[in-house]
């Protein structure tokens, strides 16, 4: 399967803008629903660390997370530090230990697991328009771990959403970069005339638990790259930004559609083994 070609085709599909708008809305609503929890996934590396813990639940530990992270995601020190931060915030708790257990494992606390369940729904469900038949497990809460495992496997096996788009990755690696970019795109993907309110930097910061100064700095960085320009209702994406982010969201929706349709079935572990088999040492 040529994942990139499939994602590119989706970005040219007449249904793309509606699906991408749904993706932005779901992800932004998820982050706004609980900013303190969202701050634990404030950049690309943190989101991957949490996602791997979700996949491993209830057997997460630093060594296991490092083994399953896609290449060039986070260093050992960063993984260890973020796991400690997640514990301090009560998002991860110690898992029950068996008599023969030698490793201290972690699991998601119930409230955090419920929030991550919602986040996984936001990652994959906007791709339903591109799935011939809805998956039978759509209403099964336990299916989410499998969905996420296969979605990360897609990155490992060939989609590599952000490595193909270094300019997008640059902003996703910044704290709060994800929500600011998607807030701009949510407005841009909306139907003509649907957005009437001016983009408020203060309101954007308050909704996502950021400071107004930080939002101003992120928008200034986007403007410096000619990705944002002032429009009638405030900052809006330029054609340069649209060209890159359309590919990004097309690849995202393509990977999610393959997961939901059952075309892409390997786990993260299987994907890493397959990658190692074809990667020169």
Average pLDDT of the residues of the chain: 90
pLDDT of residue 99: 58
Decide: 178 and 268 in contact? Cβ < 8 Å. no
Among the residue ranges 89-93, 253-257, 275-279, the one predicted with the least confidence is 275-279
Task: With 0.85 as the threshold, say if the pTM is over it.
Answer: yes
- DSSP for 181-212, please give it: HHHHHHHHHSPTT---SPPPHHHHHHHHT--H
**Which pair of structure tokens corresponds to residue 142?**
């336990």
Rounded mean pLDDT, 73-87: 95
Lowest mean pLDDT among 23-37, 43-57, 162-176, 234-248: 162-176
pLDDT recorded at residue 181 = 97
Q: State residue 218's pLDDT score.
A: 97
Mean pLDDT of the region 77-83: 97
How many Å apart are CA 12 and CA 15, to the nearest integer? 8
In this prediction, residue 249 has a pLDDT band, given cuts at 50, 70 and 90, of: very high
Lowest mean pLDDT among 22-31, 64-73, 103-112, 223-232: 64-73
Q: H-helix or E-strand containing 108?
A: strand 106-108
Q: CA 52 to CA 152: how far, in whole Å?
A: 9
Contact partners, residue 25, CB within 8 Å, separation at least 6: 186
In this model, does residue 111 exceed pLDDT 80? yes
Chain segment 224-238, per-residue pLDDT in tens = 999 999 999 999 999
For residue 161, is pLDDT > 60?
no
Over residues 14-38, the mean pLDDT reads 96
CA–CA gap between residue 155 and residue 70 (Å, rounded) = 7
The total of other beta-carbon atoms located within 10 Å of residue 124's CB is: 25
Q: Which of 170, 193, 192 minimizes the C-alpha distance to 245? A: 170
* Peptide bond before residue 133 is cis, with ω within 30 degrees of 0: no
Poorest-pLDDT segment among 61-65, 96-100, 177-181: 96-100
> What is the pLDDT, as a whole number, of residue 149?
83
Residue 281 has pLDDT above 70, yes or no: no
pLDDT over threshold 90, residue 220: yes
Distance CA 91, CA 1 (A): 37
Distances (CA, A) of 249 to 9, 62, 71, 189, 215: 11, 30, 21, 11, 22
Q: At what angle are helices 201-208 and 177-189 packed, to 10 degrees?
A: 120
Task: Tell me the average pLDDT across 30-49.
Answer: 92
Pair 20, 249: CB distance under 8 Å: yes
Does the CA dihedral 195-201-203-206 come out positive or negative? positive
Rounded Cα distance between 228 and 184, Å, is 9
């Amino acid at each position: 399967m040529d994942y990139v070609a499939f994602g590119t085709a989706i970005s040219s599909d007449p249904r793309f803008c509606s699906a991408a708008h749904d993706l932005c809305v779901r992800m932004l609503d998820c982050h706004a629903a609980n900013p303190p929890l969202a701050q634990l996934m404030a950049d690309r590396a943190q989101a991957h660390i949490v996602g791997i813990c979700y996949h491993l639940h209830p057997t997460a530990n630093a060594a296991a997370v490092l083994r399953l992270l896609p290449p060039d995601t986070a260093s050992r020190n960063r993984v260890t530090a973020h796991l400690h931060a997640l514990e301090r915030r009560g998002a991860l708790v110690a898992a029950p230990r068996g008599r023969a257990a030698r490793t201290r494992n972690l699991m998601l606390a119930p409230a955090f697991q419920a929030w991550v369940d919602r986040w996984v729904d936001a990652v994959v469900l906007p791709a339903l328009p591109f799935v011939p038949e809805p998956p039978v497990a759509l209403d099964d809460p336990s299916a989410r771990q499998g969905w996420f495992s296969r979605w990360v496997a897609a990155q490992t096996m060939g989609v590599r959403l952000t490595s193909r788009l270094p300019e997008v990755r640059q902003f996703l690696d910044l704290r709060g970069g994800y929500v600011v970019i998607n807030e701009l795109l949510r407005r841009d993907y909306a139907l003509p005339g649907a957005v009437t309110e001016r983009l408020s930097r203060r309101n954007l910061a308050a909704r996502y638990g950021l400071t107004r100064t930080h939002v101003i700095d992120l928008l200034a960085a986007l403007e410096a790259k000619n990705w944002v320009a002032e429009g009638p209702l405030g900052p809006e994406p330029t054609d340069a930004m649209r060209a890159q982010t359309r590919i990004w969201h097309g690849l995202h929706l393509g990977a999610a559609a393959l997961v939901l349709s059952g075309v892409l079935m390997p786990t993260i572990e299987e994907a890493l083994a397959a990658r190692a088999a074809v990667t020169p040492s």
